[in-house]
Amino acid sequence: MKRWLMVLMASAAVSMWAGAQDVWVRPYVWHDDASSTFTWSFVNGCLTLSDTSTDCQGTEPNGDPDPEWYSQCGWGNRHVWFITMDGNGPTWFDPDTNGSTLELEFSLDLTPVMQDERTVEAGLFVLERPFPRFPREVNDQGNWWADGVLMVANERAGGAGGEIAAFGGRLPFWNGGGARYQGGPITLIFRYDGAQKKVRYEVRYNNQTYTSDWLSPGDFASSYNGGPHGLRYFAIGGYLQINRINQGNTAGGTARFGCNSSIKLNGRAVLGSGMGDVNLDGCVDDADLLTVLFNFGTGCVR
């Protein structure tokens, strides 16, 4: 993890603070082969996640086989990343409470593509956590901490290409508008309107745009406390998932996010080098500098 060192110049402080608009990676959320080779890098706004050598053959540091490293050699590994504004962990958003809107946009590409079986998938990731102000009987109902995805898969599917779909957690299902992935960059957009408590998805691929209707999230607890509620208190980012490890997928795969265009939050590029829009108002100006100066010396971001 990065440790930002104290700097003397205010202009350098702007760059330091802006760098905290970053990504926070959590590897091995699922780890059916925890001894696989996972790597990630984030350079000039291009985030790369890669998981290879998924053969369930872990070893001790001296090279001897170690049974404690052998997993069940199950179905898959999942790695996720989130938007972070402080570098310490995911930034949590709650537009359902204040009626604001939220939008995340990024491009991605997968390798390998057009496989006979679905071996790799990646996409947009939404994680909802318990409502901190709600009673325990609500937070313990199981669907909180739910995760949903807008997925891009790599299977051949008779030449049509990989499935694109949104589902899981409290995200309403969407079939991707019929788009199929056959390789190259694809842009995914997640929009949430806290006033109407609805979600809209968009996919841009091969010079075509596929957009869902405004869709309502929900579950069996959504009417609690005078609902309906939407997606209250959630984090957003992306994920890479390696499938079919227990069925011979030893090649793994790679996903690259934001390498073909900027990762954008609410329509503005917030990640990558040279970003200085601390308050996300679309301008790099004195207001950003004042924010940095008032917080200067409060400590380090790791």
Confidence of residue 129 (pLDDT cuts 50, 70, 90): confident
Please count the structural domains in the chain. 1
Mean pLDDT of 15-29: 65
Instruction: Answer yes or no: is 33 within a domain.
Output: yes
Give the residue, 268 or 1, on which the prediction is more confident: 268
Q: Say yes or no to pLDDT of 134 above 60.
A: no
Query: How many other β-carbons are positioned within 10 Å of the β-carbon of residue 71?
Result: 18
Query: According to the model, what pLDDT value does residue 112 have?
Result: 97
Query: According to the model, what pLDDT value does residue 230 have?
Result: 79
Give the residue, 226 or 256, on which the prediction is more confident: 256
pTM recorded for the entire structure: 0.78
Q: Say yes or no to pLDDT of 146 above 80.
A: no
Mean pLDDT of 30-43: 89
Mean pLDDT of 117-143: 73
Instruction: Answer yes or no: is 237 within a domain.
Output: yes
Domain of residue 118: give its range: 24-277
User: Where residue 259 sits, what CATH number does that domain have?
Assistant: 2.60.120.200
Mean pLDDT score of the chain: 79
Instruction: Answer yes or no: is 231 within a domain.
Output: yes
Give the residue, 235 or 169, on which the prediction is more confident: 235
Instruction: Answer yes or no: is 18 within a domain.
Output: no
Mean pLDDT of 31-48: 89
Q: Is the dihedral of CA 148, 152, 153, 158 positive or negative?
A: positive
Instruction: Answer yes or no: is 291 within a domain.
Output: no
Confidence of residue 256 (pLDDT cuts 50, 70, 90): very high
Instruction: Answer yes or no: is 196 within a domain.
Output: yes
Query: According to the model, what pLDDT value does residue 274 have?
Result: 39
Q: Say yes or no to pLDDT of 2 above 80.
A: no
Confidence of residue 147 (pLDDT cuts 50, 70, 90): confident
Both structure tokens of 230: 């939407």
Instruction: Answer yes or no: is 4 within a domain.
Output: no
